[in-house]
Amino acid sequence: MALYFCCMKYSWIVLTAVVLFACKNKGTQPNGKEKMSPIVEQLVSAVEKHPDSVGLRLQLVDALDSMGNLSLAMVQMDSIIKKDSGNFGLWFKLGSLKERSGDTVSAVGAYGIAAKIYPTPDVLLTLGNLFAETKDSRVFSTVSQVASMRLGRTYQSHCDFIVGIYYARTGNTKAAIGQFNACINNNYGYLEAYMEKGFIYFDAKDYVAANQVFQTVVTIKNNYADGYYWLGKIAEAQQQKAEAIAQYERSLVLDPNLKEASAAIGRLKN
């Protein structure tokens, strides 16, 4: 009974925290009480009535996630996993929440458990990408595991791209470009590979090569705002003011939220 009471108490603490979050920034009712999101209110009530319902808790996780409260969503995921620690999908979802919250170490741990339970190519690639971004050499064994499945050119292109990211992040730019080229050979429209190549050339001040890469990007996808933004950066670096403004403006039309382009235009026009 003592253990059960403790668990119930913990559950109520979590639910209270959820309610407090849901009320935040929602204003107040005439009687002074804080209003709360109807969806979260309903889910909190449902979970209170059915604390063992995994489905309801997952709905609450999704609602919290959509509201941007990853910390409370992860608390709910921890509660669910305690009851079903062998569920691949739960660990994968927790890893995604951890990754988006910026907790890379915990994300790697969660994805790693998911991969041990059921090593799907998608979870392995997700894990490999985190290894690449954090300069972790385990990327090679993880990606090799996917490559050995021989799933076709699409998955091979993902493998090449991830290894390219590792090389780029560790400063081996020659090897990185080789991997990005291999990725593109398997998937001509793999824009991320072009972009990473372009970044390498831009950082090396090889503006001719960088310009060619980003021109290819906007040829493949003519509404890709980031491509025009980087064409603007190249023009600006070469002191081609009018061209830079034109490219920044193109990118801003396609993505009005691209603050860097807006700032660049303001800087160049002043």
pLDDT in tens, 69-112: 888 889 888 888 988 899 999 999 999 999 999 999 999 999 99
The H or E element that residue 1 is part of is none
pLDDT of residue 37: 72
Q: How far apart are CA 268 and CA 270, in angstroms?
A: 6
Q: What is the pTM of this model?
A: 0.80
Structure tokens belonging to residue 225: 């705002």
Per the CB < 8 A criterion, the answer to whether 190 and 157 are in contact is yes
Per the CB < 8 A criterion, the answer to whether 23 and 35 are in contact is yes
- For the chain, where are the alpha helices, taking DSSP H only? 2-23, 38-49, 54-66, 70-83, 88-100, 104-117, 121-133, 139-147, 153-169, 173-186, 191-203, 207-220, 225-237, 241-254, 259-269
User: Could you tell me the CA-to-CA distances from 11 to 8, 81, 150 in Å, in that order?
Assistant: 5, 14, 45
pLDDT of residue 40: 73
User: Could you tell me the CA-to-CA distances from 146 to 141, 142, 143, 177 in Å, in that order?
Assistant: 9, 7, 5, 21
**Residue 34, SS3?**
strand
Amino acid at 166: Y
Q: Give the residue ranges of the chain where pLDDT is below 50.
A: 1-35
